[in-house]
């Protein structure tokens, strides 16, 4: 049975991002979204080898897909970052059913 929530049944999407030394680190894609009024696509990722799951960091990137190639871009503009952060928080609140302040 196919529906809009089938993403929860799929294997997590793993991407590899090189660090400053060129060593590839594994990240799990936790969310992809587009911002209203923009052609830009964004993804939120978390490191897979995080030793402290309580303080897991979430990283945001603007991305472009070119066939099988994935190009990631750092978000360096404060205005763009604010829009991405607001969109992410809104989507998380919707997924939680809007019960984030219980």
Token pair listed for 85:
């952060």
| pLDDT reported for residue 4 | 45
Whole-angstrom distance, CA of residue 78 vs CA of residue 27 = 24
Low-confidence spans in the chain with pLDDT less than 50 = 1-7, 100, 102
Q: Give a yes or no: residue 2 inside a domain.
A: no
| pLDDT reported for residue 46 | 93
Q: Give a yes or no: residue 17 inside a domain.
A: yes
Give the ranges where the chain is alpha helix by DSSP (H).
78-95
Contact 35, 19 (CB under 8 A): no
Q: Give a yes or no: residue 1 inside a domain.
A: no
**Would you give the end-to-end CA distance of the chain in angstroms?**
33
Domain count, the chain: 1
Domain that holds residue 64: 13-49+57-95
User: Which one, of 52, 45, 50, lies nearest residue 88 by Cα?
Assistant: 45
What's the whole-model pTM score?
0.74
């Amino acid at each position: 049975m196919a529906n809009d929530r089938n993403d929860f049944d799929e294997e997590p999407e793993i991407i590899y991002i090189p660090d400053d030394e060129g060593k590839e680190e594994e990240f799990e894609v936790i969310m992809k979204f587009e911002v209203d009024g923009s052609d830009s696509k964004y993804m939120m990722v978390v490191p897979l080898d995080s030793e402290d799951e309580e303080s897991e960091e979430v990283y945001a990137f603007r991305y472009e897909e070119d066939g099988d190639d994935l190009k990631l871009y750092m978000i360096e503009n404060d205005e763009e970052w604010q829009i991405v952060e607001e969109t992410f928080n809104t989507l998380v609140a919707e997924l939680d059913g809007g019960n984030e302040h219980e």
